[in-house]
Structure 1
Amino acid sequence: MMLDTARRQRPWSSLLALLLLALPGAALADDDWPRGHYPLPEHGSLVGAPYTVAASHEQTLLDIAREHAVGYEEIRNANPEVSLWLPGEGTEVVIPAQHLLPDAPREGIVINIAELRLYYYPEVGDGETPRVETYPIGIGREGFDTPLGTTRTTMKLEDPAWYPPESVRQEAAARGEEAPAVVPPGPDNPLGRHAILLEIPGYLIHGTNRPDGIGMRASRGCIRMFPEDVEALFRSVPVDTPVNLIDQPFKAAWQDGTLYAQSFATPEVEERALSHRLEALATLEALKAEAQVAIDYAVLSEALDAAPGRIVGLSPGA
């Protein structure tokens, strides 16, 4: 299987909630749509709708995240002042369930590494509404980067066995342990119950026996999903589906006359902060030319420095 800390601790949650309510489409989606499934917009790239829920007495923030198809970093960034392990009964928790679709062809599977999120555009039949399914994912940690590029799904395995790679066996030996040659299906299997093999040798989209790691950079390069999410994808995705692995830390698109943007701060992005801003400016200048309107670059700068994942309107007065 293969920020500035002070800024992160600002009281963004109240501001975020207000901004979310001001975004187009802020009403809850039709209850008939499964979680993480959205009709594709005829124009623009915004899907879904943010909302808040009240924590129950024993729920952790991670419990709430999983219940609403949100990953670790997403739920933490949307609720920086809420306790991770004990939010407290009645505490309002923001669910960041609105997304800007990545700038990539809307076909097959698109995985945005910077966003820690997978998008699937299934083929639909006559009379069906085109849709996108989106799920939080875990990706490769430092030194085990998830590869970028285009590939395809090649095989689907239910209740797969896991054969620890040589690097795992070496690490175990260094700790004085012996890694098994094979881990059979069951609760100790890190692949979970469903695996989708990619054409890139050694890389899979699979479940996990440690769901708290979804939404984090913690794998050896494979794409991990919540067990219920990978099962849904497993049932839906045909073999030979195209997979596009991209790294877009900044996304922007027009919606109803307003330019919206979303930024994701990652360790790699922080190391090249100036380059990140230049890339964002280039993206915005190209979009700006489409409608010949002004862009509030002060808001852009704030968005790049603020809580990652926050969707903001960049046109004056948005």
Structure 2
Amino acid sequence: MNASTRSISSLLLVALLCSAQWGLAATYRLSDPEADLIGSGYWVTVQENETLLDIARRHDIGQEEILLANPGVDRWLPTPGSRVFIPARYVLPAAERKGLILNLPEMRLYYFVSPEEVATYPVSIGRMDWKTPLGKARIVRKQKSPSWYPPESVKKEAAASGETVPDVVPPGPDNPLGAYALRLNLPGYLIHGTNKPYGVGMRVTHGCVRLLPEDIEELFHKVRVNTQVQIVNQPVKVGWLDGVLYLEVHPPVEEHLEAREDMLRYALEVIYQELEKHPAILIGANVKKAIEEQNGVPLVISRKTDEPPMPIRNPVFD
């Protein structure tokens, strides 16, 4: 077993042990502080009367995540006995490894329990007209069984559709905040649960960050008031593991015009910034594949310098 295989195996073992102990969310221990990847993708078999969304929730994967990783698979009627890929490998966002990091295009939250230990959860984020803000924030209050006080903007939206929204929704099964809420120092923004768990992993909220009920319960009991929250917009992530560079690409959020108009140029800028720090030989075909598919699955895009060289005329289209 080589060093790369040992690293992946140990990360997966920790994830499985922690999942069994704490629920569905995966927690990874970074034995190498320079490593940028966690987890490992794997295949599962579809059971009778099981939807793709059932599989996603059982493995703590968001709805868009599992759809992108399994193109052509019907979300409601996957074929029993067929195999579905669980995209449970992640390049860590380029951000300070501290507190909570939310990457909007990925619709995934990372919680650094310590610099060596990180948990990750799928989330829903705000729609284009209800954008989740970028930048740094912090948790200022933790609430169990919160009441929901719909803001005027939500009431106006409901009124435009001929509906009414009460001034307050008490705790219970009809409360869209779920059973737990973490309030940020950004007025009106929360990290909370939901009474519609199958919407997690989509862009459906009014700006808040929505987690699965089992995930917010776990996070609520772990995170502390004043924990830092970094909200980033990184449709392209690159990272190293055992001297090899990986590329992970997600569909950019609608309002990220720079990435949407020319994803190739945007991705190459991110890649070359990394290569300035750590030179490597690119595998152009894999760069192209990741950019074309945008499925969130990390791909190896470099070879170690001691491997047999291959002529690369164009680092993207070879």
Partner of 1:38: helix, strand, or coil? strand
Partner of 1:118: helix, strand, or coil? strand
- How many angstroms apart in 2 are the aligned matches of 1:277 and 1:78? 20
User: Please, which of 154, 159, 165 is the counterpart of residue 168 of structure 1?
Assistant: 154
CA positional deviation for 1:123: 3.6
Matched-pair contact (CA < 8 Å) for 1:60–1:85 = yes
Matched-pair contact (CA < 8 Å) for 1:154–1:239 = yes
User: Please, which of 224, 227, 250 is the counterpart of residue 238 of structure 1?
Assistant: 224
**2:291 alignment partner in structure 1:** 304
Matched-pair contact (CA < 8 Å) for 2:259–2:266 = no
Kindly provide the amino acid, as one letter, of the partner of residue 290 in structure 2: A
Partner of 1:56: helix, strand, or coil? coil
Q: What does 1:55-74 correspond to in 2, within 5 Å?
A: 55-74=46-65
Deviations 1:42-84 (A, max 9, x none): 1321111111111210111101101111001110011112211
CA positional deviation for 1:142: 1.5
Partner of 1:143: helix, strand, or coil? helix
Matched-pair contact (CA < 8 Å) for 2:258–2:266 = no
Kindly provide the amino acid, as one letter, of the partner of residue 183 in structure 1: V
Structure 2 residue 254 is the aligned partner of structure 1 residue 264: no
**1:39 alignment partner in structure 2:** 29
User: Please, which of 93, 114, 120 is the counterpart of residue 105 of structure 2?
Assistant: 114
Matched-pair contact (CA < 8 Å) for 2:267–2:291 = no
CA positional deviation for 1:24: 6.8
* Residues 1:300 and 1:78: Cα distance change in structure 2 (over 3 Å): same
Partner of 1:25: helix, strand, or coil? helix
Q: What does 1:204-219 correspond to in 2, within 5 Å?
A: 204-219=190-205
- How many angstroms apart in 2 are the aligned matches of 1:93 and 1:295? 29
Structure 2 residue 163 is the aligned partner of structure 1 residue 177: yes
**2:8 alignment partner in structure 1:** 25
**1:248 alignment partner in structure 2:** 234
Normalising to structure 1: TM-score of the pair?
Answer: 0.86
Structure 2 residue 282 is the aligned partner of structure 1 residue 295: yes
CA positional deviation for 1:88: 2.9
Matched-pair contact (CA < 8 Å) for 1:52–1:92 = yes
- How many angstroms apart in 1 are the aligned matches of 2:274 and 2:159? 53
Deviations 1:104-152 (A, max 9, x none): 011000000111000000148xxxxx31000000000120010000010
**1:12 alignment partner in structure 2:** none
Partner of 2:281: helix, strand, or coil? coil
- How many angstroms apart in 2 are the aligned matches of 1:223 and 1:291? 35
* Residues 1:302 and 1:32: Cα distance change in structure 2 (over 3 Å): closer
- How many angstroms apart in 2 are the aligned matches of 1:269 and 1:160? 33
Partner of 1:122: helix, strand, or coil? strand
Structure 1 gap ranges (5+) = 1-21, 125-129
CA positional deviation for 1:299: 2.4
CA positional deviation for 1:26: 6.1
Percent sequence identity over matched residues? 43
Q: Tell me whether 76-85 or 286-295 shows the greater mean CA deviation.
A: 286-295
- How many angstroms apart in 2 are the aligned matches of 1:304 and 1:23? 28
* Residues 1:23 and 1:59: Cα distance change in structure 2 (over 3 Å): farther
Aligned residue-pair number: 293
Partner of 1:104: helix, strand, or coil? coil
- How many angstroms apart in 1 are the aligned matches of 2:73 and 2:242? 33
* Residues 1:260 and 1:272: Cα distance change in structure 2 (over 3 Å): closer
**2:85 alignment partner in structure 1:** 94
**1:223 alignment partner in structure 2:** 209
Deviations 1:230-256 (A, max 9, x none): 010000000000000000111111221
Matched-pair contact (CA < 8 Å) for 2:280–2:303 = no
* Residues 1:26 and 1:73: Cα distance change in structure 2 (over 3 Å): farther
Matched-pair contact (CA < 8 Å) for 2:97–2:112 = yes
- How many angstroms apart in 1 are the aligned matches of 2:283 and 2:182? 43
* Residues 1:91 and 1:153: Cα distance change in structure 2 (over 3 Å): same
Matched-pair contact (CA < 8 Å) for 2:249–2:297 = yes
Q: Tell me whether 139-148 or 307-316 shows the greater mean CA deviation.
A: 307-316
Matched-pair contact (CA < 8 Å) for 1:288–1:294 = no
Kindly provide the amino acid, as one letter, of the partner of residue 79 in structure 1: N
* Residues 1:281 and 1:182: Cα distance change in structure 2 (over 3 Å): same
Matched-pair contact (CA < 8 Å) for 1:191–1:206 = yes
Normalising to structure 2: TM-score of the pair?
Answer: 0.86
